[in-house]
């Protein structure tokens, strides 16, 4: 039966010689929804109307470029011999940690130029960001990438997954862990958590720091199952960075809780 399983077509449609990939559509849809939700919350919090639209004009392209650069650097053994493949992001190969680095740096500069609190911007963005990540992982699903180690079909069936997911995890004669799904579900749970926490008396900055910790914990464990990790020697970079982010975010959160007692609270409508 396995021999008859065909993967889903990664190409959604063609416009003449241009092929439009599901990967790009899904990533773009996640970004669009994230931006819409962030703009709504920014308006509710009293930020200037075009704040997030203006920020995204810079943050999105910089995030995509930095995500690709990050990936290419750690896969340079391949790209040094195939430089023409470097811009082909539609085939996959963008790293979320690279995107986060680019986005945070862009937001810091933007916030200073606009005279807006960096922490307020990233608090508003955090739920939207993790929801966009949850959606974006389905782009990896369509490309049959970001999967885990080998498993059996019965293992996947015991997870009560629908057939279209099980069949898509059948790659070159072998079934694999749907790690894209694990991370997507973790991220969606994180979105719900942040929405809930947004309704309590958090200090400014703590929603974003909670996002960093939540995402990094999930990514650490999911990364341990994957077979395509970016490596630095014997270290899985995503796990190493996840640990570092958890430590840094927790330290900042504790410092702001104990030393910055005058920091504005999230429920303060004027802050």
Over residues 134-164, the pLDDT tens digits come to 999 999 999 999 999 999 999 999 999 999 9
Containing structural domain, residue 79: 2-259
pLDDT in the model for residue 48: 87
Domains: count for the chain: 1
pLDDT in the model for residue 220: 96
* pLDDT (average), residues 68-85: 90
pTM: 0.89
Share of the chain above pLDDT 70, in %: 94
Q: Is residue 264 situated within a structural domain?
A: no
Nearest to 125 by CA among 212, 239, 247: 212
Q: Is residue 245 situated within a structural domain?
A: yes
Q: Is residue 167 situated within a structural domain?
A: yes
Question: pLDDT tier at 129 (50, 70, 90 boundaries)?
Answer: very high
pLDDT in the model for residue 266: 57
Q: Is residue 136 situated within a structural domain?
A: yes
Q: Is residue 39 situated within a structural domain?
A: yes
pLDDT in the model for residue 268: 47
pLDDT at residue 270 is higher than 50: no
Q: Is residue 54 situated within a structural domain?
A: yes
Torsions phi, psi of 12, nearest 5? -75, -50
Report the C-alpha gap between 140 and 71 in whole angstroms: 15
Over residues 200-218, the pLDDT tens digits come to 877 889 999 999 999 999 9
Q: State how far Cα 39 lies from the chain centre.
A: 19
* pLDDT (average), residues 54-69: 92
pLDDT in the model for residue 231: 83
Q: Is residue 270 situated within a structural domain?
A: no
CB 182 within 8 A of CB 225: yes
Report the C-alpha gap between 242 and 261 in whole angstroms: 28
SS3 232: strand
* pLDDT (average), residues 103-109: 96
pLDDT in the model for residue 6: 87
Nearest to 179 by CA among 159, 209, 194: 159
Supply the mean pLDDT for the chain. Answer: 90
Over residues 164-196, the pLDDT tens digits come to 999 999 999 999 999 999 999 999 999 999 999
Q: Please give the C-alpha separations between residue 21 and each of 28, 90, 144, 171, 228, in angstroms, as whole numbers.
A: 11, 7, 13, 19, 21
pLDDT in the model for residue 1: 47
Report the C-alpha gap between 206 and 204 in whole angstroms: 6
pLDDT at residue 77 is higher than 80: yes
Q: Tell me which of 10-14, 93-97, 144-148 is least confident.
A: 93-97
Nearest to 68 by CA among 49, 84, 88, 47: 88
């Amino acid at each position: 039966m396995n021999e008859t399983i065909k993967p889903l077509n990664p190409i959604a449609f063609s416009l003449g010689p241009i092929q439009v990939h599901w990967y790009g559509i899904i990533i773009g849809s996640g970004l669009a929804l994230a931006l819409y939700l962030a703009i709504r919350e920014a308006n509710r919090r009293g930020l200037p109307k075009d704040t997030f639209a203006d920020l995204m004009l810079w943050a999105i392209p910089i995030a995509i470029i930095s995500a690709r650069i990050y990936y290419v650097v750690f896969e340079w053994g391949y790209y040094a011999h195939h430089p023409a493949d470097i811009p082909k992001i539609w085939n996959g190969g963008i790293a979320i940690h690279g995107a986060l680095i680019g986005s945070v740096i862009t937001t810091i500069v933007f916030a200073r130029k606009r005279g807006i609190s960096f922490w307020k911007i990233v608090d508003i963005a955090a739920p939207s960001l993790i929801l966009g990540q949850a959606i974006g992982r389905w782009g990896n699903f369509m490309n049959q990438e970001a999967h885990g180690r080998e498993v059996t079909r019965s293992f996947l069936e015991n997870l009560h997954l629908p057939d279209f997911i099980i069949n898509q995890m059948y790659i070159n004669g072998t079934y694999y862990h749907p790690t894209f799904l694990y991370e997507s579900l973790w991220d969606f749970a994180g979105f719900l958590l942040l929405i809930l926490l947004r309704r309590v008396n958090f200090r400014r900055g703590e929603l974003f720091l909670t996002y960093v910790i939540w995402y990094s914990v999930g990514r650490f464990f999911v990364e341990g199952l994957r077979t395509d990790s970016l490596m630095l020697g014997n270290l899985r970079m995503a796990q190493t960075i996840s640990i570092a982010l958890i430590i840094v975010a927790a330290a900042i959160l504790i410092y702001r809780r104990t030393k910055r007692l005058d920091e504005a609270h999230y429920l303060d409508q004027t802050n």
